[in-house]
A and B are shown apart, each in its own frame.
Chain A
Amino acid sequence: MAEKVSETSNTKVVEKELSFGPVHPALLEPYRIRLFVNDEYVEDCEITINMAYRGIEKLFEGLPVERALIIAEKVCGICSNVHAFNSVRVIEGGLKIEVPERANYIRVLTHEFQRITSHLLLLAHAFEVLSHETFSMRSFLLRETFMDLMAYLGGNRVMASVPVIGGIRPRADLTEPLKKTILDRVDEFEKKYLNYVDRILADPMIMSRLSGVGLMTKEEAMEWYATGPTGRASGWDFDLRRDQKEYKPFEYNIIVLDGCDNKARVVARALEIIESMKIIRQAVKNLPAGPIINNEWCPAKMDYTTAYIETYRGELMHSYGLDERGLIRNYKIRTPTITNLAAMEQVCIGDHVTDAILTIASCDPCLTCCTRAEVVQAGQSRLMTELEIVDKYGWRR
């Protein structure tokens, strides 16, 4: 009966369904797209996530807050730093811990390093979906600069582990030689990167694939809460960095475009990289002297506190409370992918099938952040099965 209601309530006529994923070369993450198509054109779309169960919040439950930080960083391999950053911002906000100015600068620096690596990854993925291997590989090659800088700063290319509660790790403090290296590498990167972007924009085949496809108006972006560069490429001037105290000392532009299509979403990220370079230069040149950590705090009961941050894909929320012993209670994470991907479900309607996959990819979905559970044991990490989660935590989770 339910099927009949569902069937009659859909007025669009569709010829057939094409299913992609959860295992598919174009989808780097485990999610599933069902396209309902007429000929080559998408009439309707359904995206299913949670192919791999997300249980990471449960792992936080009852952990000492400093240990939880280690897990928070491992929520995602691409945006590891922002999860660690926002996780400490929650307790710093809740327990009113002052962070030294020098530590804030270095936190912002790391954040922008990773914004660049994330955006370059999106460019690489977008060109891979376009089947343009050369541009895709060039993007990965350019990304190496900032992967190296992450390693110089934190000792690791992916999990740099820079923020800690009250400041940054001593290992991540900037030395004079490192400052020089960062500035030199950024200069070198900028030349190559601008040349790369010029070539992309001058390529008629690429522009033909990107322009006028996957249209999302400003109103739609706001209605579906498509945040980050995805929403800003539709003209929605929304960026949490504007109100974030860590970003107050820096001068940069918020990139807002009115193209509303896949081209705008790609170009918005390309331009944000240039703005990130501006912030990086300011952070290095104007780095204040002083301590890098404030240890004058102690775990105590903390009410449920929330922190929002502008991550590379949009708005990221972390929230938790601490009990009397300083153990974590009710950790919740909401990543931007959840709303951005839902928006793309609507936006790809009307596209050619091949373009629809690109449209969905253009919101930079990160299902790793969004749906995956991970166990860290004795320095090794592995995925946690649903059965293990049920065994450990029971059905009511």
Chain B
Amino acid sequence: MVDYLVFTAGLLASSMIAITIAIAYSLVLPGIERKIQARIQQRIGPPILTPGFWSVIKFGYKAKVEPMAQMPRFYGSLVYFGVGIVMLLLLFSTPYWWAVLGWGSILGIAGMLKLEEVIYVLMGSQSQSVLSTSMPVPDLVKGSKRPRVKREFVEQHSAERALKMMAIGSLPIYLAMLVPFIAANSPLISMVVVHQNPAYFSSPWFGLPLPSNPVVLSVAGFIAAIVYLMGYVMLLNEKPFNILKAKVDVIEGGVLEYASKLRGYYYIMRNLLLFAMSSIFVTLFIGIPFDPLMPLAFLMNMLLSLILPICLAVLVAFSPTLTFRQIYPVTLGLAALGVLAMILSVSL
């Protein structure tokens, strides 16, 4: 019983520390991202803290605006669900959670990612911004070509795109994510870490156990890491795979109607996902987990977690938005690479 209570207290403490640090750190990442893009574009760019941290603070002080949606309260609550899901996603990759009901495994991570993708479909199907409805053009009076065609909101069109991306766009990241698990012959994150970093569990709390056999340095791991990066971009709906929030047509997609505090929470959700997926990459491919009770390990994890956002920023700066005409073949190509990495990883 005492052991159970101690474990629960440790779990809560580690979770709170992990979430606090992760949110604070993740709010710096968009600033770094924007700064890199700006320098590539020969601009000064915003101050580092502005796009993430200060924006969220600012949105917190904005007057509450009721979103235009079929069910505004449900639509508003989706962003809270989103934040919760991303928090769990991050927590499942931290060592204390590895012992809880098998959530610290490929299943826990993949499940949370799928839920996160579903959130975008729900957001899109709910949002009904003014941009698609209140046009000051009397189409029927002017003799429209097709007066009775069902009119769809741009956000609903975005929801359909989110469904397509769920079906095919998320394939590469799951395939890439499987590679370290195949290499470790186990679905558990703990085994993946031990496979790469045997000294991890025997290290003292102040130690920094460095991996002796990181997956990313193998051929299979390197291919998988590239596929993971592209899948990461797809999951974050960033260019070139930002079709479900392409500014040219569906604008912001399902999140268009989030304003004031809800927009602030949406920023937290997006930025936390940015960090969580980077942190999971470091855990799975390098073998250094985000361990809130081992300061040097989590600092190292946070430092290495900059790799993916930096790559993302460079990719975003040099990419246009791709349509499904390009996304389908690119995804299939990446999926093929992911399968190749999986086959190669069997021998690791």
A residues neighboring B (CB under 8 Å): 2-3, 6-7, 10, 14-20, 22-26, 32, 34, 36, 40, 44, 46, 48, 51, 127, 129-134, 137-138, 141, 205-206, 208-209, 352-355, 357-358
**Residue numbers in B under 8 Å from A127 (CB-CB):** 320
- Give Cα distance in the complex from A32 to B132, angstroms: 11
The answer on a CB contact under 8 Å between A355 and B137 is no
Stretch at the interface among B220-228, B236-244, B268-276: B236-244
Judge whether B145 is part of the interface by a CB distance below 8 angstroms: yes
Since A134-B317, A137-B43, A354-B248 are in contact, a sample of 7 more A-B pairs with Cβ atoms closer than 8 Å, ordered by chain A residue number, is: A10-B145, A16-B150, A17-B146, A17-B152, A34-B139, A134-B40, A137-B42
**Residue numbers in A under 8 Å from B246 (CB-CB):** 131, 354
- Give Cα distance in the complex from A44 to B145, angstroms: 9
For the complex of A and B, list the 8 residue pairs with the smallest distance between their C-beta atoms, beginning with the closest: A130-B320, A131-B321, A132-B320, A26-B248, A16-B152, A17-B149, A352-B323, A137-B41
B149 interface neighbour in A16, A48, A209, A357, Cβ under 8 Å? A16
**Residue numbers in A under 8 Å from B146 (CB-CB):** 6-7, 10, 14, 17, 36, 44, 46
The answer on a CB contact under 8 Å between A40 and B324 is yes
**Residue numbers in A under 8 Å from B140 (CB-CB):** 3
**Residue numbers in B under 8 Å from A18 (CB-CB):** 132, 151-152, 154, 157, 249
- Give Cα distance in the complex from A133 to B145, angstroms: 35
Most chain B Cβ neighbours within 10 Å, of A17, A24, A44, A358 = A17
The answer on a CB contact under 8 Å between A16 and B151 is yes
Cross-chain pair count, CB within 8 angstroms: 127
The answer on a CB contact under 8 Å between B247 and A354 is no
**Residue numbers in A under 8 Å from B131 (CB-CB):** 23-24
Judge whether B7 is part of the interface by a CB distance below 8 angstroms: no
Q: Considering only CB atoms, which chain B residue lies closest to A50 in the complex?
A: B137
Q: What is the distance, in angstroms, from A321's C-beta to the closest C-beta of chain B?
A: 33
**Residue numbers in B under 8 Å from A355 (CB-CB):** 323, 325
B residues neighboring A (CB under 8 Å): 37, 40-43, 131-132, 135-137, 139-140, 142-152, 154, 157, 239-240, 242-243, 246-249, 251, 317-326
- Give Cα distance in the complex from A263 to B323, angstroms: 16
The answer on a CB contact under 8 Å between A25 and B145 is no
- Give Cα distance in the complex from A19 to B325, angstroms: 22
B-side interface mostly: loop
**Residue numbers in A under 8 Å from B139 (CB-CB):** 34
The answer on a CB contact under 8 Å between B41 and A133 is yes
Q: Considering only CB atoms, which chain A residue lies closest to B318 in the complex?
A: A134
18 A-B pairs in the complex with CB atoms less than 8 angstroms apart: A2-B143, A6-B143, A10-B146, A16-B151, A18-B154, A19-B135, A26-B247, A32-B137, A34-B139, A40-B323, A48-B137, A131-B321, A133-B37, A133-B41, A134-B40, A209-B323, A209-B326, A354-B248
The answer on a CB contact under 8 Å between A357 and B249 is yes
Q: What is the distance, in angstroms, from A206's C-beta to the closest C-beta of chain B?
A: 6
- Give Cα distance in the complex from A16 to B157, angstroms: 10
Q: Considering only CB atoms, which chain B residue lies closest to A131 in the complex?
A: B321
- Give Cα distance in the complex from A46 to B142, angstroms: 12
- Give Cα distance in the complex from A36 to B151, angstroms: 9
**Residue numbers in A under 8 Å from B322 (CB-CB):** 205, 208-209
The answer on a CB contact under 8 Å between B326 and A19 is no
- Contact flag A209-B320 (CB < 8 Å), given A7-B146, A24-B251, A354-B246: yes
**Residue numbers in B under 8 Å from A20 (CB-CB):** 154, 249
The answer on a CB contact under 8 Å between A352 and B248 is no
Q: What is the distance, in angstroms, from B134's C-beta to the closest C-beta of chain A?
A: 10
**Residue numbers in B under 8 Å from A36 (CB-CB):** 145-146, 149
**Residue numbers in A under 8 Å from B148 (CB-CB):** 3, 7
**Residue numbers in B under 8 Å from A15 (CB-CB):** 150
**Residue numbers in A under 8 Å from B321 (CB-CB):** 130-131, 209, 354
**Residue numbers in A under 8 Å from B323 (CB-CB):** 40, 209, 352, 354-355
The answer on a CB contact under 8 Å between A25 and B247 is yes
Q: Considering only CB atoms, which chain A residue lies closest to B252 in the complex?
A: A25
The answer on a CB contact under 8 Å between A354 and B145 is no
- Contact flag A131-B248 (CB < 8 Å), given A6-B144, A48-B137, A137-B41: yes
The answer on a CB contact under 8 Å between A205 and B240 is yes
- Give Cα distance in the complex from A2 to B143, angstroms: 8
A205 interface neighbour in B37, B151, B243, B319, Cβ under 8 Å? B319
- Give Cα distance in the complex from A36 to B131, angstroms: 17
- Give Cα distance in the complex from A32 to B319, angstroms: 27
Q: Considering only CB atoms, which chain B residue lies closest to A212 in the complex?
A: B325
Q: Considering only CB atoms, which chain A residue lies closest to B248 in the complex?
A: A26
- Contact flag A205-B152 (CB < 8 Å), given A6-B147, A36-B145: no
- Give Cα distance in the complex from A127 to B239, angstroms: 13
- Give Cα distance in the complex from A132 to B324, angstroms: 17
Q: What is the distance, in angstroms, from B62's C-beta to the closest C-beta of chain A?
A: 21
- Give Cα distance in the complex from A313 to B91, angstroms: 57
**Residue numbers in A under 8 Å from B149 (CB-CB):** 14, 16-17, 36
Q: What is the distance, in angstroms, from B250's C-beta to the closest C-beta of chain A?
A: 9
The answer on a CB contact under 8 Å between B326 and A208 is yes
**Residue numbers in A under 8 Å from B152 (CB-CB):** 16-18
Q: Considering only CB atoms, which chain B residue lies closest to A351 in the complex?
A: B323
Q: Considering only CB atoms, which chain A residue lies closest to B247 in the complex?
A: A25
Q: Considering only CB atoms, which chain A residue lies closest to B154 in the complex?
A: A18
Q: What is the distance, in angstroms, from A4's C-beta to the closest C-beta of chain B?
A: 9
- Contact flag A141-B249 (CB < 8 Å), given A34-B139, A209-B320: no
The answer on a CB contact under 8 Å between B326 and A32 is no
Q: What is the distance, in angstroms, from B135's C-beta to the closest C-beta of chain A?
A: 6
